[in-house]
Structure 1
Amino acid sequence: MSLKLSSARWLGLVALTLSGQVFSAELTLNQAIEQALEQDLWQTSSARREQALIDRAESSGSLPDPSVTLTAGNFPVDTFDIQQEPMTQLSVAVTQMFPRGDSRALSAQKNRELSSQQPLLRQDRSLKVEQAVTRLWLQGYEAQESIKLMEQERDLLRQLVDAARAGYASGLNNTRQQDVVEANVELIRLEDRLAELRQALAVTRQQLGEWLSESGEVFESGQFVGLSKGPTPDQLPTAETVIQHPQVLAFERRIQSSETGEALARQSYRPAWGLTAKYGYRDDDLMGNNRADLMSVGVTFDLPLFTGNRQDREVSAAVADTEALRTDKTLLLRRMRSELSAAMTEYAYLYERKTFYQQQLLPQVQEQASAALSAYHSDRGDFPSVVKVRTSVLNTRLARLKIETSLHRTLADIRYLSATALSSTESPTSGSSSSGELKNEK
């Protein structure tokens, strides 16, 4: 049996190695973010869009290609003799068109302004990736640590049930059969909660595979470790930092490009010009006398006289587009300020609750559990009270863990909205600190 298991593990390791990437046994939040940013193909796509707009700017700033016209003109239809008529000629004409006003320069400028959006959008994307990966990592961390707490509580409860069953069988204490049955039911409930958490942990690992591996591999069985200590509420940024957010700055580039589009639309009031140079070759006449070749130069231009239904409308539409973008930017700033203020308020309350749980509630619940267990061992308490208070300890620990992860989820939102990257100087706490307290108590 052990040989089969060893072979299966070896084959699994080989399969993972051949597939291209094997995840380490531990995954810190910083590692997850760095790996997700390295695997983000959107950055490559954005860089290519930027280059396309730069190339388009160069193209739109150039003159259109000249056109060449070859003509065999004024041939007599009775003989088609090139020498018969003096007007008969072979001609070549070259025409160069010149776009309206400054439309070439403005079109190039508009594309350059659009291309300048892309670096800012890439910064925004990096912040969004950090936010999304942080949320998933915290989700996995919470499920992992909750499983540890429940497994340790389950082991302790099993020991208590075994001791109570032995006491009931020997009649040495006041434990009733009903008490033992109720404790067994509580153990079954714990197993169900554990199954639910294992399901959530497995799903989270699958979801992380989207960000951490280009081939879709999954962080199967490693540990989420190194949850950092969050800053105090007075260390958070102000709501006005959203003004310098990459998404807001990218919106300003769009507005600049739209303003250039207004100027480009106004060029439609100016005429487009064309210059033509034509050279005509004539053969000698029938008597052998030389005929002079002909040279022509001409200018063509349009007259934008009827502007009411075209040029005026185009300019009006361009102005409306710009004003709409300005309104959208105002709405974006208002929304981001509101979200950042709300997140900072939520963070302050969560930080206060975390401190309350650590310094007051959890120590008192642990003291209550110790007192109940001591009373039971000295025959001054009953078994249901011990089970009840142990359940209370577990629920309090889980609540504190949830507050801690909610605090960091809110911090991830604050970091995105304030465009603040995750600091690598924060000191990490032990990944199993929550579960370690119960182990020490045992």
Structure 2
Amino acid sequence: MSSVLQLTRYLSVAALVLACGFAVANEQSLLTLEAATQKVTQDNPDLAQMLARAQAMAAIPSQEGSLPDPQISFNAMSLPVDNFNTRQVDMTQMSFGLSQAIPFPGKLALKEQAANYEAEAANLNADEVRLRLISDVKTLWWQVFYLDRALEIVASNHSLLHQFVDIARTKYEVGEGLQQDVLLAQLELSKLLDQKIGLTGLRRSTVARLNALLDQPANHPVQVSATLPLQLPEIKTENQLYQQAETARPLLASERQALNAAQTRLDFAHKDLLPDFNIEAAYGARSNMPDGTRRSDLLSLGVSMNVPIFAGSKQEKAIDQRTSELLQQRYTLQDKWNNVRAQISQTHSDYQRAQQQFVLFDTGIIPQARQTVASMLAGYQVNKVDFLNLVRSQITLFEYETQYWKAFTEAQQALAQLSADVGEDAIYE
């Protein structure tokens, strides 16, 4: 008897440990929203290639600001071709030369400055991609959350309709119900099965898109938490969000850097009308004469510069080109700013609408619909309510519960989009 008791205790402890292990494993397999956003910023290849491009752009300014490489030359000058004797002709010399091209002062600084603006724009573009990816991941994560809740509602309604079928069949068997009630309930069960198939397929495709952003196999299983705080915060006004976006949105900052680069390239085009210089120095070594008389070596110095005689078709056309590019960039910045404000207004409106719907379903519609179903069911069991109205009330409750979770999900997705539109998470009052 004692051994049986010990065995029972052992099995109980083992079952408890196994259950805890399953619970921990299940908890570890959950993909939290924070983990998803962290993973996309670490593993997404699109963001990685943008960061690599920004690093490449950061290496350009020092190249643009450096002088051209000097040139070294070696020459045999005035060498007689009949015997190649370096002592026969007085001008024969072995020459070593060095030359350095020097752009007009200020040109290199402008080229380096333009490259710096472009490098900073590339870095800001990477930040913009990061914001977009985080928003996309959050949107898909919340979509999976919604589909899980919708599938739970389908399963719950499937169980309730089974109970309705049993009640209708029992009443039909005792002669108090109609066969059409049983058939109607079975038809609604089939409709629920069709909805389940559609929701399951949509969840599969949503998970595949989420896995693609997370750099995971498309069929990698994803489970999200079913219990989350059901609270929706108040957000700032549109004008406040406009002001934040003007300084925080990487897209706008990148366009401003591109505008600065265009202005710098225009300044360089004006300065390119001025000549560049080339400084040369050469040393010619001469051999002694055949009778031993020493001949002095020769030193040559020179400065040359280009003459922009074709400025009308070259440098001035470059100025026209850079002027048009600067104008284009100004229009681009204004267009981006208009689009950002439109996005903020649209997303702000979407959140307000979803928040109001969520509160309405939570505090009014769903409690009333549940009371209606309970009242209908009680009335049907005593033959005071027909079966069709009972089923309709349950289907209506099913639709309201689905819309409740949809409103909550759309509100969360709007918050994610709004953070990306503004450029930061500080969007709450």
Structures share fold, TM-score greater than 0.5? yes
Provide the aligned length of Structure 1 versus Structure 2. Answer: 401
Aligned mates of 1:222, 1:234 — CA distance in 2? 32
Q: Tell me, yes or no, if the aligned pair for 1:121 and 1:250 is still in contact at 8 Å.
A: yes
Aligned mates of 1:199, 1:397 — CA distance in 2? 20
Aligned mates of 2:220, 2:232 — CA distance in 1? 25
Task: Read off the aligned partner of 2:104 and give its amino acid letter.
Answer: R
Q: Tell me, yes or no, if the aligned pair for 1:154 and 1:190 is still in contact at 8 Å.
A: yes
2:286 to 282, 291, 306: 282
Q: Tell me, yes or no, if the aligned pair for 1:269 and 1:307 is still in contact at 8 Å.
A: yes
Give the match for residue 357 of structure 2. Answer: 353
Q: Tell me, yes or no, if the aligned pair for 1:49 and 1:115 is still in contact at 8 Å.
A: no
After the TM superposition, which residues 63-142 of structure 1 pair with which residues of structure 2 at under 5 Å, given as runs? Answer: 63-142=67-146
Aligned mates of 2:224, 2:54 — CA distance in 1? 39
Give the match for residue 5 of structure 1. Answer: none
Q: Tell me, yes or no, if the aligned pair for 1:29 and 1:227 is still in contact at 8 Å.
A: no
Q: Tell me, yes or no, if the aligned pair for 2:144 and 2:224 is still in contact at 8 Å.
A: no
Cα deviation digits, residues 299-330 of structure 1 (max 9, x gap): 11111122111000111111211111111000
Give the match for residue 239 of structure 1. Answer: 242
Identity of aligned residues (%): 23
Give the match for residue 187 of structure 2. Answer: 185
SS at match of 2:232: coil
Cα deviation digits, residues 226-268 of structure 1 (max 9, x gap): 5453222557753332212111011111111111111222232
After the TM superposition, which residues 332-347 of structure 1 pair with which residues of structure 2 at under 5 Å, given as runs? Answer: 332-347=336-351
Q: Tell me, yes or no, if the aligned pair for 1:144 and 1:224 is still in contact at 8 Å.
A: no
Give the match for residue 255 of structure 2. Answer: 251
Task: Read off the aligned partner of 1:169 and give its amino acid letter.
Answer: E
Q: Tell me, yes or no, if the aligned pair for 1:28 and 1:225 is still in contact at 8 Å.
A: no
1:298 to 282, 297, 302: 302
SS at match of 1:223: coil
Task: Read off the aligned partner of 1:385 and give its amino acid letter.
Answer: N
Task: Read off the aligned partner of 1:391 and give its amino acid letter.
Answer: I
Q: Tell me, yes or no, if the aligned pair for 1:206 and 1:218 is still in contact at 8 Å.
A: yes
Cα deviation digits, residues 87-122 of structure 1 (max 9, x gap): 222211111111233222222222222222244223
Cα deviation digits, residues 316-371 of structure 1 (max 9, x gap): 11121111111100001011111211221232222222222222222221121111
Give the match for residue 56 of structure 2. Answer: 52
Give the match for residue 226 of structure 2. Answer: 225
Task: Read off the aligned partner of 1:253 and give its amino acid letter.
Answer: Q
Q: Tell me, yes or no, if the aligned pair for 1:73 and 1:88 is still in contact at 8 Å.
A: yes
SS at match of 1:91: strand
Are 2:164 and 1:163 equivalent residues in the alignment? no
Are 2:325 and 1:321 equivalent residues in the alignment? yes
SS at match of 1:276: strand
Shift of residue 62, structure 1, vs aligned partner: 1.7
Aligned mates of 2:274, 2:118 — CA distance in 1? 25
Task: Read off the aligned partner of 1:181 and give its amino acid letter.
Answer: L
SS at match of 1:289: coil
Shift of residue 132, structure 1, vs aligned partner: 0.3
Task: Read off the aligned partner of 1:220 and give its amino acid letter.
Answer: P
Task: Read off the aligned partner of 2:108 and give its amino acid letter.
Answer: R
Aligned mates of 2:426, 2:156 — CA distance in 1? 32
Cα deviation digits, residues 161-203 of structure 1 (max 9, x gap): 01210221122x2x10011111111110110111111111122
Instruction: Name stretches of at least 5 consecutive residues in structure 1 with no aligned partner.
Output: 1-21, 427-442
Give the match for residue 203 of structure 1. Answer: 205
Aligned mates of 1:405, 1:31 — CA distance in 2? 18
After the TM superposition, which residues 262-273 of structure 1 pair with which residues of structure 2 at under 5 Å, given as runs? Answer: 262-273=266-277
Q: Which has the higher contact order (CA 8 A, sep 6+)?
A: 1
Give the match for residue 383 of structure 2. Answer: 379
Aligned mates of 2:87, 2:62 — CA distance in 1? 49
Cα deviation digits, residues 402-421 of structure 1 (max 9, x gap): 22212222222211111233
The worse-fitting range, judged by mean Cα deviation, of 104-113 and 388-397 is: 104-113
1:30 to 22, 31, 34: 34
Superposed CA RMSD in Å reads 2.3
Aligned mates of 1:307, 1:234 — CA distance in 2? 55
Q: Tell me, yes or no, if the aligned pair for 2:283 and 2:299 is still in contact at 8 Å.
A: yes
Instruction: Name stretches of at least 5 consecutive residues in structure 2 with no aligned partner.
Output: 1-25
Task: Read off the aligned partner of 2:246 and give its amino acid letter.
Answer: I
Aligned mates of 2:64, 2:70 — CA distance in 1? 15
Give the match for residue 12 of structure 2. Answer: none
With over 3 angstroms needed to count, the CA separation of the structure-2 counterparts of 1:92 and 1:347, relative to structure 1, is: same
Shift of residue 46, structure 1, vs aligned partner: 3.5
Shift of residue 60, structure 1, vs aligned partner: 2.1
Aligned mates of 1:392, 1:234 — CA distance in 2? 35
